[in-house]
Chain A
Amino acid sequence: MSVLDTLIQGILLGGLYTLFAAGLALVFGIMRLVNLAHGDLIVMAAFLILYLVTGLGLNPFVAALIAMPVMFGIGWALQYFVLNRTLGPDILPPLLVTFGLSIVIQNGLLQGFSADSRRIPIGPLESASINLGPIAVGVMPLLTFASAVLVIVALNVIFYRTSLGRAFRATSDDKVTAGLMGIRPDNIFAIATGLALVVATIAALYLGARANFDPTIGPARLIYAFEAVIIGGLGSFWGTLVGGIIIGVAQTFGASINPEWQILAGHVAFLIVLLFRPRGLFPRAVD
């Protein structure tokens, strides 16, 4: 495998990590909430898509489209009825509650789907590839990366160009004054978590189509997502994309030297970036 080839595979893998991370970045950026169940919610969305594909015989992309509003609803309700009650000056309650939620989701999925390893069947697309000059690139990794860029663009547009985005930023600045503008912070937070789970559903489609998954793999995805968000700098969506790419490239190069080094190389890259840029590459000016 040439260096260029490895680099491109790494960048494309970074797209997947960006998709894991974008929802986390959105929720953290708006309400300073770290959702420890984010990885498990991605796995849950993967099982939902799998169920729609194998149970109802739907095309996986159609299944993901159907899963998106379902996951939005789950995210909205989770935030509105549970997580909003944990928000406050103390950062411990949301961590404890989402940690508990993570365990509940894992066990619920084990109960419902067993510990077997699964995969979302996507047919011939799985092995399809196209040639970019001398390098053959998988269609699925390419789609994953394109989706990640699209998600980042969409989140930026929502955040900086819409009335909802203004409400997100205003609520994040000052809940009480936001209320004086007619904004209902509880609802705004619920919409944010709903959106985060829509992105998680997109992540789930590519996660489940690319590799095997089972109910216990959520926490590991959470770690990659975390690292991408923190490398990027809290509060910058483009930073999250860069962070995802750095982890992806580091892992791919690590694996090309020795397959056992894949995961380790990602973590090392994370630590090196933090060593030189403790606040990440693109920290938000206002904090």
Chain B
Amino acid sequence: MALLETRSLTASYGDFQALFGVDVRLEEGQTVAIIGANGAGKTTLMRSISGVLRNALDQISFDGREIGGLSAPDVVALGVAMVPEGRKLFPSLTVEENLLIGRYGRAVEGFWSLETIYEMFPILKERRNNPGTALSGGQQQMVAIGRALMSNPRVLLCDELSLGLAPVVIKDIYAAFPKIKASGASIIIVEQDIGQALKVADQVYCMMEGRITLSGKPSEISREQIHAAYFGAHA
């Protein structure tokens, strides 16, 4: 049984339907990548899993429980944490306070603590009393990742980590992934950077217009298939 699974997941913003029956599986210990063009519905999928958007209860299951209708605080408490698109640090909180608030709704002991996060991103320790929003984009992304890890999640959702960052910075951020995986977290990343996504993922899903158009292991799918799944067969 998959650790996390969506089944015919649908989601709407008012009258506008953004997801049309999405099936995604995340096995324990794996990393899944979701790729797709702007507006494909990737963030909507993340918002649905994390409880920001409510769905039908049975459309999402986690560890054998149906969680589709739960609120975000309930989902976090179960062990699914999110690094939201655009980082979304709290401007009124310092770097360290941003990290500490990550365990507000789930304070379980585990590999991740202030110490281990400062060990992974030493620059954050130096800047710990700065307002979170005074940091560079890459450092802010480190805070957002650390904040999510503070709850020692079983599943980490990452929405467009590389958004707006320089390639060297993206490399730095992804250098943290082996450690995150070793801590026992299973990961779903949303990426526009296809190369990066294929590098870290065990399983890739491509989305277009609210549907999954392609899925498979990175080694099994070709560039042409991805291109077709990204832009439509006739592009």
Contacts and interface: CB of A to CB of B under 8 A. Distances in A.
B partners with A: yes
B71 A180 contact: no
Interface size, A (range)? 10 to 19
Nearest to B80: A180
Contacts of A178: 90
Contacts, number: 66
Contacts of A181: 76, 101-102, 104-105, 147
A90 interface: no
A172 B84 CA distance: 18
Given A180-B72, A181-B76, A166 B101 contact: yes
The 6 A-B pairs with the shortest beta carbon distances in the complex, nearest first, are A182-B105, A179-B72, A169-B92, A182-B76, A177-B88, A173-B90
A187 B18 CA distance: 30
Interface residues of B, number: 26
Contacts of A170: 90, 92-93, 101
A182 B100 contact: no
Interface of B: 50-52, 71-73, 76-77, 81-82, 84, 88, 90-93, 97, 100-102, 104-106, 131, 147, 151
Nearest to A176: B52
Contact of A184 (B73, B88, B100, B151): B73
A183 interface: yes
A143 to B, nearest CB: 33
Given A180-B84, A182-B73, A172 B92 contact: yes
B106 A182 contact: yes
Contacts of B71: 179, 184
Given A166-B100, A167-B101, A170-B101, A180 B76 contact: yes
A32 B93 CA distance: 18
Most chain B CB neighbours (cut-off 10 Å) among A166, A181, A184, A286: A181
A174 interface: yes
A169 B102 contact: no
A224 B88 CA distance: 37
B86 to A, nearest CB: 10
A173 B73 contact: no
Given A180-B50, A180-B76, A182-B105, 4 more contacts: A169-B90, A172-B92, A182-B72, A183-B104
B90 A179 contact: no
Contacts of B82: 180
A182 B77 contact: yes
A179 B51 contact: yes
A111 interface: no
Contacts of B91: 173, 286
Nearest to A182: B105
